[in-house]
Structure 1
């Protein structure tokens, strides 16, 4: 299958998988702390990837391992905890919509750090998108006074890390197999995850026997297998066969899925929030819109 067709298939499948991840995080937090959720997500994912990708590690050159480690920290290691903490205070749908700023941040960081060229229209799109994100935070804070919307900044921080990771994969890991990148990412996350899990009191016998914790762990197993392990490999491949901005565009299809799950779960979503979300998507559209160039 040609890359021009394959990249769209990856984009749609990833939007469904990652769009469902936010509600799984929310359900996981019912019986787990953010630290427990993040560490279990890392460890389960590492287990799945090592089963299928151990041999692929041989394809990584010694000089490339530093980028593998950096990519692991930025693309998974820190964001899993930031999203978990964010969703203790803000709705899962809002977290997903704010995460749609990744394409805008990818372009902005590509320009500032990686020397990627841009069009005036794309800069306007970045400003519009960031304005929409700001409006979404302020509107959410006004209609959900019981929620602490300062936690929305954790989603923005995670989105910046995702944007950096996309640029790093495209610039420095273009020739490494996608499965090798994903597996290598998690090799170095296993030790700190085990240490954090031990100190989080997760192995308390009384805690593990509760049905609430057991169900939450089940949600994280699903999240790790599909939302992290499988999706991580697909996303790495998508970056390699397309552009960083196109690959990160998955984040503005995800809210369609996440908002649907959120509304079904009883989350509030007003017309003003819809308007702010459309502003963000409009900004991303301007960033990605093709134009004829000479």
Structure 2
């Protein structure tokens, strides 16, 4: 009986982490959109890394002592794949594509996680997980095509930045599960930013951030507020939660957060004046069904 209670508590914890991350990351896309009013995509990517890194260093430097030397190679790779490059790519994509549509494209992460997990990391997935991902992907496809229909003037070539980011995210989640399982979540996040904060500072120095034109932009102050909120919640806190989720669940379960994020992002987009169609609501329900079926566990008999 005690074993069953522990399993139930663990299952509930995984879902709590999943939905919390969905709300946080689902809100990140509108924050990027608002930040673009006063900052360039390159400045957003660099500032997001720097602000996040400073916060993580303030709370996590001591955790670095627990990291074994052999883990640092994977922590550095994880930092660039899971944080540094996507931070720039998503901001670039949102210069041409609505924030909600970008979040929808991000839902390719679970599919890439399964494919790369099997092909590169030899991490097996169950039939139920595959079925769940397929159902979720169907819902995502409906959202994508309807989004393109509602926004025919947007340059969907920029979707390539998002798709490339989903591949990097999928690689990252498999790296964490395969090689960093025993590293504390806070230590993983902090070490990631030890590796990438200096490159981010260099990029910012060459981004024309420290110019009169940037500081005199009437949208600059609010853009800095948005990027700070994004860095604190959408990156720093979310990274710690996500690393914990990857360690306590499967890579596919953790990456399925990207199936739920579009629902949050669509809501923010609708409130900000982006077009929304009832079919997108139906597709969102399909996505939720896919996530539920993929990760519904059978009750164990005691």
- Please report the TM-score for the alignment, with normalisation by the length of structure 2: 0.89
| Aligned-pair CA distance for 1:68 | 0.2
CA distance in 1, matches of 2:226, 2:60: 23
Contact 1:137 1:149 in 2 (8 A): no
Contact 2:260 2:287 in 1 (8 A): no
Give the direction of change, closer, same or farther, for the CA distance of 1:126–1:9 in structure 2 (3 Å limit): closer
| Aligned-pair CA distance for 1:164 | 1.2
Q: Does 1:18 align with 2:63?
A: no
Where structure 1 has 5 or more consecutive residues not aligned to the other structure, the ranges are: none
Contact 1:104 1:284 in 2 (8 A): no
Superposition pairs of residues 7-156 of structure 1, within 5 angstroms: 7-130=14-137, 132-156=139-163
Give the direction of change, closer, same or farther, for the CA distance of 1:195–1:98 in structure 2 (3 Å limit): same
CA distance in 1, matches of 2:63, 2:161: 33
- Give the root-mean-square deviation of aligned CA atoms: 2.2
1:53-112 Cα offsets, whole Å, 9 max, x none, are 011111111110000001101110111111111111111111112222222221221111
Give the direction of change, closer, same or farther, for the CA distance of 1:119–1:231 in structure 2 (3 Å limit): closer
| Aligned-pair CA distance for 1:3 | 3.2
| Aligned-pair CA distance for 1:116 | 2.2
CA distance in 2, matches of 1:92, 1:26: 6
CA distance in 2, matches of 1:7, 1:280: 18
Segments of 4+ moved more than 6 angstroms: none
Tell me what 2:251 maps to.
244
CA distance in 2, matches of 1:69, 1:120: 33
| Aligned-pair CA distance for 1:27 | 0.3
- Please report the TM-score for the alignment, with normalisation by the length of structure 1: 0.91
| Aligned-pair CA distance for 1:254 | 1.6
| Helix, strand or coil at the partner of 1:116 | coil
Give the direction of change, closer, same or farther, for the CA distance of 1:112–1:243 in structure 2 (3 Å limit): same
| Helix, strand or coil at the partner of 2:219 | helix
1:239-262 Cα offsets, whole Å, 9 max, x none, are 111211121122222222111111
Contact 1:34 1:84 in 2 (8 A): yes
CA distance in 1, matches of 2:191, 2:86: 17
Contact 2:136 2:259 in 1 (8 A): no
| Helix, strand or coil at the partner of 1:253 | helix
| Aligned-pair CA distance for 1:137 | 3.4
Q: Which moved more, 1:243-252 or 1:37-46?
A: 243-252
Give the direction of change, closer, same or farther, for the CA distance of 1:156–1:289 in structure 2 (3 Å limit): farther
| Helix, strand or coil at the partner of 2:89 | helix
| Aligned-pair CA distance for 1:276 | 4.6
Where structure 2 has 5 or more consecutive residues not aligned to the other structure, the ranges are: 1-5
Q: Does 1:209 align with 2:229?
A: no
Tell me what 1:223 maps to.
230
Superposition pairs of residues 169-180 of structure 1, within 5 angstroms: 169-180=176-187
